[in-house]
Amino acid sequence: MLVLLKNHTIMQLIEIGQTIKERRKNLKITQPDLAEMAGISLNTVYKIERGKANPTINVLNKLASVLGLELKLEVKQIKL
C-alpha cells in the first residue's frame, strides 16, 4: 500500500510543475502552444506549472511526449 503525506505530495506536484515549466521554456514553447500540442486545456497547463493541479498519468504522458520527457517509476532505495 502506498501512503503519501499531504505535504510530500504537494511538494512532488510543485516539482513536476517546475520541471514541465523549465523544459517548456527551454524549448521556447508557450503555454497555449503546449496545451494545443498536448491536447489539454490551457488552464490545466497553467495549474500544473504552478503545482495547483493533480494531473492524471494520461495528462502527464501527453505533456512529457510533447516536451521530450519520460515518466519513470523506480524502487525507492531504503537507507538502513
- Distances 46 to 1, 31, 75 between C-alpha atoms, Å: 31, 7, 30
Q: Is CATH 1.10.260.40 the classification given to domain 6-67?
A: yes
- Residue 1 pLDDT exceeds 50: no
DSSP reduced 3-state for 3? coil
In this prediction the pTM is 0.81
Q: Cell for 16?
A: 513536476
pLDDT digits (tens, 9 = 90+) for 42-69: 999 999 999 999 999 999 999 999 999 9
CB 67 within 8 A of CB 21: no
For the residues 5-32, what does the mean pLDDT come to?
85
User: How far is 11 from 14, CA to CA, in rounded Å?
Assistant: 5
List the chain domain ranges: 6-67
pLDDT digits (tens, 9 = 90+) for 6-18: 455 555 888 999 9
Q: How far is CA 68 from the centre of its chain?
A: 13
